[in-house]
Structure 1
Amino acid sequence: MARGEVILTVLAPRFTADIQSQIEALRSQFGLEEIAFQQLSNASSSGDMDCIEQRLVGDEIDVDAVRKAALVLSDTLNADIVVQERLRGPVSPGLVCFDMDSTLIKTEVIDELARRHGVGDVVAEVTERAMRGELDFKASFRERMSKLAGLDEAVLSDIAAQLPLMEGSERLITNLKRLGYRTAILSGGFTYFARHLQEMLGIDEIHANELVIEKGKVTGEVREPIVDAERKAELLEAIALREGLTLEQTIAVGDGANDLKMLAKAGMGVAFRAKPMVRAQARQSISIAGLEGVLYLMGYHQNDLTS
């Protein structure tokens, strides 16, 4: 009988006795034996979260079943319990691609534009349905864009200057740059705001949708091609190829249905504070930790990182 091996990572404000006992029960349920343990982060010294990593072995591991059970535990324990099927090799720099709206920033920019234009409720409802995967992204995107026709360009500048960064985004990008990773924004949002974020955080490259602006007004149209789910996955693969990287050396982080193909294509695909459908389909998911939690999923120790 073939022996399998997985990595189980737990991120929590505190690694409590209850979490420990539930993890032990999970291991027992699936016949998993711990062969290595390390504490990657200690909240009392790092200032963010406790993080422990276990290497587990077992016979004929049903990884999908373990992941589903871990996701249920995550919801009940106020912790992120993450299962990775393939053991990492030595940590080496690669490519990390991010969605922008509700991932690197806390807001959906198109909803904020709509609010300023007096059509906020209508557009926000369509955005929510699209992110849950209930609507075709391109069709819903064009519908939402049409409602922005006539919006003053000055509103874009005002919103860009106030983009609310997601918790942990600055620490994550700072460390990825220092460690030699290439970073990219692959967004179904707008280049206008992605460029602003690129300058703020030092992102290497951006790929998003180009608003058409004429005589200082948004026309309600965007230039082709629209960055949808397929385009995000294609871009991730193309950038990796250009940089001489394998897909195993890529990481993708996103929150919506529009990110699922990118998450599936990457060597590690992390659903971040995502919709339930996205969390269920992604191989990895974090909802309690900030974005810096991705660094611990990559195997880094707090001593490897700058604050």
Structure 2
Amino acid sequence: MPFAHPVIVFDLDGTLIRNTTVSLLLAEGVGRLPAVEELERLYDSYAIDNDTFSDREAALLAGLTPEQIRGFLADAPWTAGVEETLRTLTEGGCTLLLATLAWGFAVEELEHRPWFSAVGAADMEYVDGALSGRVDRYFDEQGKLDFVRAWCAERGVPLDQVAAVGDSRSDLRLFAGVGTSVALNASADARAAADHVLDTEDLRDLLPLLRTRTA
């Protein structure tokens, strides 16, 4: 049975990577874990916005090189079945996109980056081979929807042909804008906004939901 949507958009933190975030993995590697844990707590409690989070974290990660980043992310805890799931979707004719609040420079160093045709993410510039500590591109929940909308518009793909998979409030606008949404191991607000809710430790359990179209 073919997949119902030709384009599938995935979130990263909490969706493809379980029980941590790219920010925390980088912070642990550079010895700044408590500081970034506090930033995540402030963001989750709405005490700071996404741009403020990005500015403060960028300063903490200044000086990192691509080689260091790759090493810090080498043992990222991917959700079980991620390789098989991404391969099955791709071989089934789907185009995969990644829309994440994580850093784009980090995504480029991840093991499974090649499966994704395009990535929407925040970013930081490199200067002389190391992170500058200054945000080059901000990316928030509206940015996820804008990224997918722009990618689809360039290719003549209607948004109702897109399915989105995510787990948190940063996915709500995207969920509302696409044809089908799946809340995977998700927060209460994401579960309430999604067409499908799935709790699993194996991403392959997602595949049957992506074979059906929401009425």
TM-score (norm 1): 0.61
Aligned to 1:282: 194
What is the match of residue 143 of structure 1? 56
Partners of 1:165 and 1:201 in 2: how far apart? 15
Amino-acid identity (%)? 25
Indicate if the aligned counterparts of 1:97 and 1:184 stay in contact, CA closer than 8 A. yes
Tell me: CA distance 1:135–1:253, structure 2 relative to 1, closer, same or farther (3 Å).
farther
SS of the residue 1:277 aligns to: helix
Secondary structure at 1:270 match in 2: strand
- What is the deviation of 1:202? 2.0
Question: 1:161: how far off?
Answer: 2.9
- The alignment of Structure 1 onto Structure 2 pairs a total of residues equal to 211
CA pair 200-240 structure 1, distance change in 2 beyond 3 A: closer
Runs of 4+ aligned structure 1 residues displaced above 4 Å come to 90-93, 131-134, 198-201
- Measure the CA separation in 1 of the matches of 2:98 and 2:36: 23
Bigger relative CO (Cα 8 Å, ≥ 6 apart): 2
> Cα RMSD over matched residues?
2.6
State whether residues 14 and 21 of structure 2, in contact with CA within 8 Å, keep that contact through their aligned partners in structure 1.
yes
Match of 1:257 in 2: 169
Going from structure 1 to structure 2, the CA distance change for 1:132 and 1:248 (only over 3 Å counts) comes to farther
CA 1:227 to 1:117, structure 2 compared with 1: closer, same or farther past 3 Å? same
From the CA coordinates, give the structure whose radius of gyration is larger: 1
Distance 1:103 1:92, change over 3 A: closer
CA shift, 1:123, in A, is 0.9
Deviations 1:101-124 (A, max 9, x none): 222223311112222222211212
Confirm or deny that 1:121 pairs with 2:41. no
* 1-structure distance, mates of 2:119, 2:173: 18
Does the CA contact (< 8 Å) of 2:25 and 2:76 recur in 1? no
Residue 149 of structure 2 aligns with which residue?
237
1:288 CA displacement: 2.4
CA deviations over 1:152-210 (Å, ceiling 9, x no partner) = 55421212333332222212211111111111111221222322347555222222222
Q: Does the 8 A contact of 1:94 with 1:181 survive in 2?
A: yes
| Whole-angstrom distance in 1 between the partners of 2:25 and 2:123 | 17
Query: Residues of 2 paired with 1:197 and 1:116: CA distance?
Result: 15
How far is 1:275 from its partner? 2.4
**Conserved in 1, the CA contact under 8 Å of 2:4 and 2:210?**
no
5+ long unaligned stretches in structure 1 = 1-39, 41-89, 301-307
Distance 1:104 1:201, change over 3 A: farther
Judging changes above 3 Å, is the alpha-carbon distance between structure 1 residues 170 and 91 closer, same or farther for their aligned structure 2 residues? closer
Structure 2 unmatched ranges of 5 or more: none
Aligned to 1:155: 68
> Are the aligned partners of 1:132 and 1:257 in contact in 2 as well (CA < 8 Å)?
no
